[in-house]
């Protein structure tokens, strides 16, 4: 009897401890498999920071990074179950998948902010020498995008709109992959492009393109990338999804302190830059890649807050352009139960 009483008491103590741990937000499950869609861009730095610093593991997540070249294929992978979470721009493909009840946007990530460099509007050397020195001169010129309905397409719309240029007067050149757009601009096959400063500054430093403007001048508060997942994960895997958001948000804080707010000490900046360099611009010398991060990083929303105004504007633009069905509502696309909306 004595032995039974002690075991029972120990069991009750253990259950109480487990309850306390859950109350503190410590995950109930360990080693939950998660595939995370990423692109080798500085904007995905928190994906890599959380991976390398063990933030996912701390939340009981066993994360595998799955690499993509553009937003649309990532959205398809999320819908099919080949990836669990993705952090990338809203695209026509993503919105159409939401209309089919396959994916949900659950948070916000990269954002344009006045006063930060953000995405740079570039001209090829050939076009610059021919007079393309300002975005107001884009009429009759070509502009590189990955795919129709990509973030590059939306940025072209915002730049054209602000400069009173009908978008139909700019020739959009879909080239599928970021690397292909880099090559086309460098060789003068296209006239212009807009890209995150980590890539833009590298091209400028190499002498393969010229800066002619900043996207933040035309689209301040633009929610450039979002966090999304399958509808099933959003609706039925809340514990896993909340654990992912907590881990990713911790890495976002590291990233913003090091590169955006610049409140981290030199040792921490070096440590974060070393992590990023392993995945982004690994072909560059470390000091050059670090400088690109320090001088050109864009803010990622704290706790992955979602700019509902910006993403709703993007949804309405996709609908007005006929790239998605007109009956798609914000409720079909956004699950706002996970993060703050701003």
Mind listing the pLDDT tens digit for each residue in 182-221?
999 999 999 999 998 878 888 998 999 999 999 999 998 8
Gap between the Cα atoms of 7 and 213, Å rounded: 70
φ, ψ of residue 12 in degrees (nearest 5): -65, -40
Q: What is the mean pLDDT of residues 128-157?
A: 94
For all residues of the chain together, what is the average pLDDT?
89
In the 8-state DSSP scheme, what is residue 130? Answer: T
pLDDT at 155: 93
SS3 assignment, position 218 = coil
Measured in whole angstroms, the distance separating CA 33 from the mean position of its chain's CA atoms is 21
Is residue 323 within 8 A of residue 229, CB to CB? The reply is no
Does the pLDDT of residue 145 top 80, yes or no? yes
Burial of 99 (0-12, 13-18, 19+ CB in 10 A): middle
Short-list 336, 313, 302, 299, CA closest to 113: 299
In the 8-state DSSP scheme, what is residue 190? Answer: S
Short-list 41, 21, 40, CA closest to 29: 21
pLDDT at 177: 85
pLDDT at 296: 78
Burial of 266 (0-12, 13-18, 19+ CB in 10 A): exposed
Gap between the Cα atoms of 164 and 136, Å rounded: 8
Does the pLDDT of residue 157 top 50, yes or no? yes
Short-list 252, 258, 295, 253, CA closest to 273: 258
Short-list 81, 107, 55, 66, CA closest to 279: 66
Is residue 205 within 8 A of residue 120, CB to CB? The reply is no
**What digits encode the pLDDT tens for the residues 239-276?**
999 999 999 999 999 999 999 999 999 999 999 999 99
SS3 assignment, position 35 = strand
pLDDT at 30: 64
Q: What is the mean pLDDT of residues 55-78?
A: 92
Which position has the higher pLDDT, 278 or 4?
Answer: 278
Is residue 311 within 8 A of residue 226, CB to CB? The reply is yes
Least confident of 20-29, 55-64, 280-289: 20-29
**What digits encode the pLDDT tens for the residues 11-29?**
344 434 444 344 445 554 5
Whole-Å CA distances, 185 to 123, 162, 231: 7, 23, 38
Please report, rounded to a whole number, the percentage of residues in the chain having pLDDT higher than 70: 91
CB atoms within 10 A of CB 138: 26
Q: Dmax over Cα atoms in the chain, in whole Å?
A: 94
């Amino acid at each position: 009897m004595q032995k039974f009483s002690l075991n029972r008491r120990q069991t009750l103590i253990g259950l109480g401890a487990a309850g306390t741990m859950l109350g503190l937000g410590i995950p109930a499950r360990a080693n939950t498999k998660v595939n995370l869609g990423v692109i080798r861009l500085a904007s995905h730095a928190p994906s890599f920071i959380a991976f390398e610093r063990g933030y996912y593991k701390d939340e009981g997540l066993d994360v595998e990074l799955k690499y993509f070249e553009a937003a649309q294929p990532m959205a398809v992978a999320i819908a099919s179950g080949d990836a669990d979470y993705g952090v990338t721009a809203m695209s026509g493909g993503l919105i159409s998948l939401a209309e089919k009840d396959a994916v949900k946007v659950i948070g916000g990530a990269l954002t344009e902010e006045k006063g930060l460099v953000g995405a740079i509007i570039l001209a090829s050397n050939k076009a610059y020498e021919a007079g393309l020195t300002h975005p107001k001169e884009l009429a009759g010129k070509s502009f590189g995008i990955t795919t129709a309905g990509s973030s590059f397409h939306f940025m072209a719309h915002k730049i054209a709109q602000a400069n009173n240029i009908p978008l139909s007067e700019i020739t959009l050149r879909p080239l599928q992959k970021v690397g292909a757009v880099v090559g086309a601009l460098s060789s003068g096959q296209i006239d212009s492009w807009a890209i995150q400063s980590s890539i833009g500054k590298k091209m400028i430093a190499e002498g393969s393109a010229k800066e002619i403007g900043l996207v933040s001048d035309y689209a301040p508060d633009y929610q450039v990338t979002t966090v999304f997942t399958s509808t099933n994960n959003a609706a039925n895997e809340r514990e896993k999804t909340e654990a992912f958001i907590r881990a990713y948000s911790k890495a976002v804080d590291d990233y913003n302190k090091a590169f955006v707010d610049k409140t981290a000490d030199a040792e921490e900046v070096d440590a974060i830059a070393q992590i990023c360099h392993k995945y982004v611009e690994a072909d560059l010398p470390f000091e050059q890649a670090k400088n690109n991060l320090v001088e050109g990083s864009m803010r990622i929303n704290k706790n992955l807050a979602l700019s509902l105004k910006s993403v709703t504007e993007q949804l309405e633009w996709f609908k007005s352009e006929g790239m998605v069905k007109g009956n798609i509502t914000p409720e079909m696309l956004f699950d706002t139960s996970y993060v703050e909306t701003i």
